[in-house]
């Protein structure tokens, strides 16, 4: 049964009264966000109170001091240096003049939003070994605010409530079994006095779920598992029990539960205040390869789906699965944007999502029925969606059952977590899209290794070959775009081409502007109607996060977290040439007439290639290659080509020092810095074999960098 909109609005009003929303402004408590204020967030465009701006998560700033006519005068108001060169993915909140944002390793900082002066910082002191469980960098996408408290999900699984005035811990709960390779990188959301948080880890082997906690006490309210557990253990005693039994159970086969099954909810968790429903975006299978995960059979519900839940109880309402039986790491966790669109002359309450699989979906929020779906980049795995069933029309062979297949889009997604925005003024969605094909081949020697990467596909073929012309050709295939998409017509209106993928999230404003940073370090403003580039700023480092806008007094500000990192740069984002290690990240804030200058960036120089002189066997090099590409390349770069975020092992002093290499890789000498010991998965001979493989890569780098080298 569905709650009527009018009833849920009444319920909201009652909750608001109960929490004293009426005197929000006079309370004087920092970040005093109430149910009423959140419900009316659209009426406070000067603040950015929740992850996507308002509950609808349109990332639209209804501010028009900065416009397409005057954006040329936008200048830096202030910047704030961060203490890390790891990725910056957070969306800052700005509430009553204070900015609250997060950085790598789940640290939180509160800044005066007009001046950048720090008020406090909070370091949850995450055990750096947890960095190994993070598939895609030790990032954090932001905080949630409620009633004078701020909530951050720490990488190690703690959900921590901070006093917004001081940054002191009010309560903290452990949200997952820390013996398993879970992480939290996503931003919590607060809905009617409950904080809701998910987790990640489906590359390594976990079972996904979301949990709601009482915002004031941290007491657990409900939990929803997205996939069934070990049948031998029986029901979980959680909100998901009934629906997993009724709908999901029959869609799984074999020992699917062994590696957890996956289905982590690591990004989109979105509240529908009109229908009193919660939408969660569910991730990929664990392992990715359905042949290994589920005997190559079944839809594997609720992998790669949007699931609507009752926010009060956590009970299932409806779902839409974009990729049944997913086998490519096609998460459907990507940002969800709500709007009312006029479709065939009728107003429809819809949600819009552009997940990794390359389809732009418009879904009816009341029924969960698919209204339309269209690809926004070229796809090779499907030719479209059958509107009678809502299922993709798959291309035979794309599941790589019999032979390896090159598939687009792929694991890094046609669109990843980078936020998209929607302007009610233009009616367009502004989407950071990308074209990244990938080869999929079943890992014939797959065995489940608890805590390690368990994806079930061979990683070695993913390494860029040691041939300049070929890597150049591969790089030319990798594309990134800013796409303006008409969701009613399911049609592109304009498209900006970038030099490569992994560009920033977007912000739309009432000044007819779209803001977006890019991988090459330009933070830009575009005309929202035409896509014309109107303004740019050299951020000195890649920008991947989503910008926000806010107002203090009469001044409109635009802010973004600058700092390159995340899955693509760490794994296969090797640029043509890396001159220096990535600099530390920064918070950048702009206003009209701003005259601040960025401090000189601290570029750590690179050591020369350091190939070892040892004679390794061909077998060592081959074995080492398989281990490296399956276990090290995700952080140090495929083919040992780092893009400058983490050390380039071809230049490491340890490469020519066998004992030092063992001390670091086998024993964990650098574990305090996020480089774990690999002794639980590999013996010393295997780790020496990795040195052999990286040695070959170093030799190639040396020859390539030599005068006349190729």
Residues that bind ligand HEC (CB under 6 A): 131-132, 631-632, 634-636, 646-647, 649, 652-654, 661, 664-665, 670, 673-675, 678, 690
What is the C-alpha separation between 710 and 539, in angstroms, rounded? 32
The residue among 187 and 675 lying less far from ligand HEC, judged by its C-beta, is 675
Shortest distance, position 649 Cβ to ligand HEC, whole Å: 5
CA torsion angle for 78, 80, 85, 91 (degrees, to 10)? Answer: -80
Contacts of 92 (CB under 8 A, 6+ apart): 48, 99, 100, 101, 142, 548, 559, 561, 587
The residue among 300 and 652 lying less far from ligand HEC, judged by its C-beta, is 652
Shortest distance, position 181 Cβ to ligand HEC, whole Å: 11
Report which of 484, 501, 502, 504 is spatially closest to residue 493, judged by C-alpha positions: 484
Shortest distance, position 419 Cβ to ligand HEC, whole Å: 24
The residue among 306 and 649 lying less far from ligand HEC, judged by its C-beta, is 649
Report which of 95, 91, 126, 120 is spatially closest to residue 108, judged by C-alpha positions: 120
263 and 333 Cβ atoms separated by less than 8 Å: no
The residue among 309 and 645 lying less far from ligand HEC, judged by its C-beta, is 645
The residue among 41 and 581 lying less far from ligand HEC, judged by its C-beta, is 581
CA torsion angle for 310, 314, 319, 321 (degrees, to 10)? Answer: 150
Cis-peptide into 287, omega within 30 deg: yes
What is the C-alpha separation between 332 and 354, in angstroms, rounded? 8
Shortest distance, position 674 Cβ to ligand HEC, whole Å: 3
The residue among 670 and 702 lying less far from ligand HEC, judged by its C-beta, is 670
Shortest distance, position 664 Cβ to ligand HEC, whole Å: 5
Report which of 87, 89, 56, 154 is spatially closest to residue 418, judged by C-alpha positions: 89
Shortest distance, position 585 Cβ to ligand HEC, whole Å: 15
Shortest distance, position 204 Cβ to ligand HEC, whole Å: 10
Report which of 211, 187, 236 is spatially closest to residue 309, judged by C-alpha positions: 211
What is the C-alpha separation between 173 and 235, in angstroms, rounded? 23
Contacts of 128 (CB under 8 A, 6+ apart): 105, 671, 672, 673, 674
Q: Answer yes or no: 329 catalytic.
A: yes
Of the CA atoms within 13 Å of residue 621, those in its CB half-sphere come to 12
The residue among 414 and 698 lying less far from ligand HEC, judged by its C-beta, is 698
Shortest distance, position 135 Cβ to ligand HEC, whole Å: 8
Report which of 378, 411, 200 is spatially closest to residue 289, judged by C-alpha positions: 411
Report which of 685, 610, 612, 549 is spatially closest to residue 63, judged by C-alpha positions: 549
Which of 272, 299, 329, 443 is labelled catalytic?
329
What is the C-alpha separation between 191 and 314, in angstroms, rounded? 12
Report which of 590, 505, 573, 577 is spatially closest to residue 545, judged by C-alpha positions: 505
What is the C-alpha separation between 179 and 689, in angstroms, rounded? 28
CA angle 427, 429, 434 (to 5 degrees): 155
The residue among 52 and 131 lying less far from ligand HEC, judged by its C-beta, is 131
The residue among 150 and 645 lying less far from ligand HEC, judged by its C-beta, is 645
The residue among 212 and 690 lying less far from ligand HEC, judged by its C-beta, is 690
Shortest distance, position 541 Cβ to ligand HEC, whole Å: 18
What is the C-alpha separation between 89 and 141, in angstroms, rounded? 5
Shortest distance, position 23 Cβ to ligand HEC, whole Å: 47
What is the C-alpha separation between 27 and 25, in angstroms, rounded? 6
247 and 227 Cβ atoms separated by less than 8 Å: no
Residues labelled as active-site residues: 329
């Amino acid at each position: 049964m569905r709650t009527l909109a009018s009833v849920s609005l009444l319920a909201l009003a009652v909750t608001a009264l109960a929490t004293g929303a009426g005197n929000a402004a006079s309370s004087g408590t920092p970040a005093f966000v109430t149910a009423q204020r959140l419900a009316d967030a659209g009426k406070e465009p000067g603040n950015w109170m929740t992850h996507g701006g308002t509950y609808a998560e349109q990332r639209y700033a209804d501010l028009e001091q900065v416009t397409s006519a005057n954006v040329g005068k936008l200048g830096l108001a202030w910047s704030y240096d961060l203490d890390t060169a790891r990725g910056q993915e957070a969306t800052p909140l700005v509430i009553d003049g204070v900015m609250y944002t997060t950085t790598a390793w789940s640290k939180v900082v509160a800044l005066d939003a007009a001046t950048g002066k720090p008020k406090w910082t909070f370091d949850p002191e995450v055990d750096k070994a947890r960095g190994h469980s993070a598939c895609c960098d030790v990032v954090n996408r932001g905080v949630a605010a409620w009633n004078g408290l701020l909530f951050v999900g720490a990488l190690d699984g703690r959900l921590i409530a901070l006093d917004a005035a001081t940054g002191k811990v009010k309560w903290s709960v452990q949200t997952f079994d820390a013996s398993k390779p879970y992480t939290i990188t996503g931003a919590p959301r607060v809905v009617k006095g409950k904080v809701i948080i998910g987790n990640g880890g489906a590359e390594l082997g976990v079972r996904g779920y979301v949990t709601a906690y009482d915002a004031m006490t941290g007491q657990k309210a409900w939990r929803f598992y997205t996939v069934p557990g070990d049948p031998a253990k029986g029901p979980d005693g959680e909100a998901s029990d009934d629906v997993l039994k009724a709908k999901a159970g029959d869609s799984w086969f074999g020992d699917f539960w062994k590696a957890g099954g996956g289905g982590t909810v690591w990004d989109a968790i979105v509240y529908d205040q009109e229908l009193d429903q919660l939408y969660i975006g569910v991730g990929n299978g664990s392992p990715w390869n359905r042949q290994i995960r589920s005997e190559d059979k079944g839809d594997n519900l609720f992998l790669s789906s949007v699931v609507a839940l009752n926010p009060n109880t956590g009970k299932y309402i409806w779902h839409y699965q974009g990729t049944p039986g997913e086998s490519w790491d096609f998460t459907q966790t990507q940002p969800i944007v709500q709007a009312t669109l006029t479709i065939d002359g009728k107003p429809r309450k819809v949600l819009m999502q552009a997940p990794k699989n390359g389809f732009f979906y418009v879904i009816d929020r009341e029924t969960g029925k698919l209204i339309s779906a269209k690809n926004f980049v070229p796809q090779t795995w499907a030719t479209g969606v059958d509107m009678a069933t809502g299922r993709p029309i798959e291309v035979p062979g794309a599941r790589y059952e019999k032979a390896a297949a090159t598939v687009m889009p792929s694991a890094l997604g046609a669109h990843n977590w980078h936020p998209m925005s929607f302007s009610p003024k233009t009616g367009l969605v502004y989407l950071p899209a990308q074209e990244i094909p990938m080869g999929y081949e079943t890992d014939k020697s797959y065995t489940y290794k608890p805590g390690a990467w368990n994806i079930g596909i061979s990683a070695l073929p993913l390494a860029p070959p040691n041939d300049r012309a070929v890597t150049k050709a591969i790089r030319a295939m990798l594309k990134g775009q800013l796409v303006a998409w008409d969701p009613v017509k399911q049609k592109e209106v304009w498209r900006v081409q970038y030099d490569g993928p992994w560009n920033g999230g977007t912000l739309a404003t009432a000044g007819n502007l779209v803001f977006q940073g890019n991988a090459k370090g330009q933070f830009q403003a575009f005309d929202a109607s035409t896509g014309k580039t109107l303004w740019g700023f050299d951020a000195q480092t890649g920008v991947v996060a989503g910008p926000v806008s806010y107002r203090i007094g009469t001044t409109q500000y635009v802010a973004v977290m600058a700092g390159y990192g995340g899955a693509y740069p760490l794994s296969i984002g090797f640029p043509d040439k890396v001159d220096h290690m990535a600099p530390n990240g920064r918070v950048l804030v702009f206003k009209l007439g701003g005259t601040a200058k960025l401090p000189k960036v601290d570029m750590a120089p690179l050591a020369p290639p350091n190939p070892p002189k040892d004679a390794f066997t061909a077998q060592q090099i081959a074995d080492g290659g398989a281990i490296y590409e399956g276990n090290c390349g995700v952080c140090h770069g495929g083919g040992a080509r780092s893009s400058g975020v983490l050390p380039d092992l071809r230049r490491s002093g340890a490469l020519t020092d066998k004992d030092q290499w063992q001390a670091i890789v086998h024993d964990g000498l650098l574990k305090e810095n996020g480089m774990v010991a690999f002794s639980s998965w590999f013996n010393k001979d295997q780790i020496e074999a990795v040195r052999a493989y990286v040695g070959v890569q170093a030799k190639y780098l040396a020859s390539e960098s030599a005068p006349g080298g190729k």
